[in-house]
Structure 1
Amino acid sequence: MGDQRVAVVSGGSRGIGKAIAVALAARGCAVAVGFQGAASAAAQVVETITASGGRAIPVQADVADEDAVAAMFDTVEKSFGGVDVVVNSAGRMSLSPIADLDLDDLDALHRTNIRGAFVMAREAARRVRAGGAIVTLSTSVVGLQFPNYGAYAASKGAVEAMTLVLARELRGRDITVNAVAPGPTATELFLDGKDEATVERLAKQPPLERLGTPEDIAEVVAFLAGPAGRWVNGQVVRANGGII
C-alpha cells in the first residue's frame, strides 16, 4: 500500500462530492471523505468504499477555517502517509436576483465558496506530492449567465481565476490544477426549491436532453486526477452535456 495514491475530497458526504469520493476509491485511491456537519452521511460514504475493498476515513473540517483544514490534512497524512489528490467539492448556493440579494447570503457564499476554495487550494499547494492533482469545482453558470445565479456565479468565477493562477504557480512541481464546471446536475442542492416544470426545462437544454448525474461529473474529476489526465493542466472543463 506504500505507493497507493491518497485523495482528499471536501464536501464528500453527499451529491457530486460523494460520487467523486467513490469514483476515486474505485480507481485505487485511499480517500479522505471531508464533511462539515453531515457525520452520518460521511460515515455511509466511507462504508460504501470499504465494503468494496477500498480504504477511506471521514475527516471533519469547515473548509473556510484554515486551522481545521490544516488539521484535516494532518490527519490524512498520518492515516495514509501523504496527499496526492485534492478535490474541493464543498459549496453553498443561494438564488436571488442581484437587485434583491441579501448581503448576508452573499457573505455566506463568499466564506464557503471563495475563502473555502482558497484555504483548500493553499493547503493543497503546500502538501500535494509530485505527480499529484488539484481539482476545484466551478459551475457552467459562469458562462451561461442564468438569472438569479449572480452571487453563486460570481463566487465560482473567483474559483476559476484562482485555479488557473495556481496551475501556473506550481510550475516545476509536477502537479496539475484544473477546475470542473458542471451544468445542471441532479443533486439535492440543485433540485431543492425547483418545481417539476423547471427541472424538465433545464433537462432539455443540453443537446443530450437530460440533467447530468453526480457520476457524470465524478468521472471527469477522476480522469483529471488520474494518470490519463496528466497533460490537462490549467483548464476549466465544462461538464454540461453541451448546454449553451
Structure 2
Amino acid sequence: MSLAGKVALVTGASSGIGRATALRLGAEGATVVVGYGIDRDSAAEVVTQIGSTKAKAIQVDTGKVVEIENLVNETVKAFGKIDLLVPCAGIMPTGPLESLTEEAFDKTFNINVKGPLFLVQKAAPHMAAGSRIILLSTTLCHASTVMPHYLAYISSKGAIEQATRVLSKDLGKKGINVNCVAPGPTTSKGFNANQTEQSLKMAASLNPNGRIGQPEEIADTILFLCQDASQWVMGQTLKVNGGMA
C-alpha cells in the first residue's frame, strides 16, 4: 500500500484536513506539494515534518486560475508529474438568504468550485493512468439538520459533488479515478471560527459517537482513495462523519 514514487499535490495544506492529508500521504511515502494561501510558517512546518527532500511548499490563491496554473507548472517542474490531486482549500461562509451579497457568493464559488475545477483541468494533462483525484464536499449536503446560514457554502459543495460525477466519466476514460469525500463536522481553524461553544456541543450531540471528527480521520479516508485498493471506486461521494448522517 506504499505511496513511494507518487507525487501528491494538496491545496489548503497548511491547516485542517489539508494539513492532515499532506502529512498522511507523506508518511506513506509520497512526495508532497504543500499548497497554501497565507500561513507560510505552518506550510513550512508541514514540509519539515514530511522532509525537505520529499516536500515543497507553494503559495497559491486558489480562486485565481493564473495562480492555479502556476502551482501545477511549479509542481511538474519540481517533480515531473502529478499522481494524487487533493484540492482541500475552501472557505465556509455563513449567513442567511437575506444577507447574501454578490461579493460573498462570488468569493465562495471562486474558491470552493472554480478553484478545484480549474486545478483538475490544469493538472489532468500531467496525470497518468492510475492517478487519483479526491475532491472535498460536506455531509451537510446530505443532512436533514441544515441551518439556513450555510446556504452559499452548501450550494458550492453541491456543485462539487455533481462535478465529481461528471469528471469521473470524463477522466475515467484515461484511467484517472475521481471521487469526493464529504466530511461531517471536523475540528479545524475554518470550522471552529464559525462556531460557538453551544453549536459545537450541538454538533457533537448529533453524532452517535458524541464528538466532532478529527482531520486525521478524514485524511485516512483520502489515503484509501489514493491507493490501488480503491481502484473500483469511481465517481462516488463518501460521507465520512462517524454516523451523523
TM-score between the two structures when normalised by the length of structure 1:
0.94
Cα pair 1:65 1:119 within 8 Å, conserved: no
What does the per-residue CA deviation read over 1:40-88, in whole Å, with 9 as the maximum and x for residues that have no partner?
Answer: 111111111117xx71000122122222222211211121121100000
Secondary structure at the counterpart of residue 95 of structure 2: coil
Q: How far apart are the structure 1 equivalents of 2:128 and 2:38?
A: 29
Root-mean-square deviation (CA), in Å? 1.4
Q: How far apart are the structure 2 equivalents of 1:97 and 1:9?
A: 31
| Corresponding pairs, count | 240
Q: How far apart are the structure 1 equivalents of 2:45 and 2:163?
A: 32
Q: How far apart are the structure 1 equivalents of 2:12 and 2:244?
A: 25
* Gaps in structure 2 of 5+ consecutive residues: none
Secondary structure at the counterpart of residue 233 of structure 2: coil
Secondary structure at the counterpart of residue 51 of structure 2: helix
Secondary structure at the counterpart of residue 141 of structure 1: helix
Q: How far apart are the structure 1 equivalents of 2:27 and 2:228?
A: 14
In the alignment, what sits opposite 1:96? 95
Displacement of 1:229: 1.5
Displacement of 1:119: 1.0
Within 5 Å, give how 1:8-87 maps onto structure 2: 8-50=9-51, 55-87=54-86
Q: How far apart are the structure 1 equivalents of 2:28 and 2:135?
A: 19
In the alignment, what sits opposite 1:6? 7
Within 5 Å, give how 1:98-113 maps onto structure 2: 98-113=97-112
Within 5 Å, give how 1:169-188 maps onto structure 2: 169-188=170-189
What does the per-residue CA deviation read over 1:200-221, in whole Å, with 9 as the maximum and x for residues that have no partner?
Answer: 1101212122100000100000
Q: How far apart are the structure 2 equivalents of 1:124 and 1:241?
A: 32
TM-score between the two structures when normalised by the length of structure 2:
0.93
Aligned-residue sequence identity (percent) comes to 36
Displacement of 1:103: 2.7
In the alignment, what sits opposite 1:225? 226
* Gaps in structure 1 of 5+ consecutive residues: none
Cα pair 2:9 2:85 within 8 Å, conserved: yes
Secondary structure at the counterpart of residue 114 of structure 2: helix
Counterpart code for 1:106: F
Report which stretch shifted further, 102-111 or 228-237. 102-111
Displacement of 1:124: 2.6
In the alignment, what sits opposite 2:156? 155
| Structure 1 residue ranges (4+ consecutive) displaced by more than 4 angstroms after TM superposition | none
In the alignment, what sits opposite 1:200? 201
What does the per-residue CA deviation read over 1:68-121, in whole Å, with 9 as the maximum and x for residues that have no partner?
Answer: 222211211121121100000000111111222233211110111111121112
Cα pair 1:124 1:134 within 8 Å, conserved: no
Q: How far apart are the structure 2 equivalents of 1:215 and 1:66?
A: 29
Secondary structure at the counterpart of residue 172 of structure 2: coil
Report which stretch shifted further, 15-24 or 39-48. 39-48
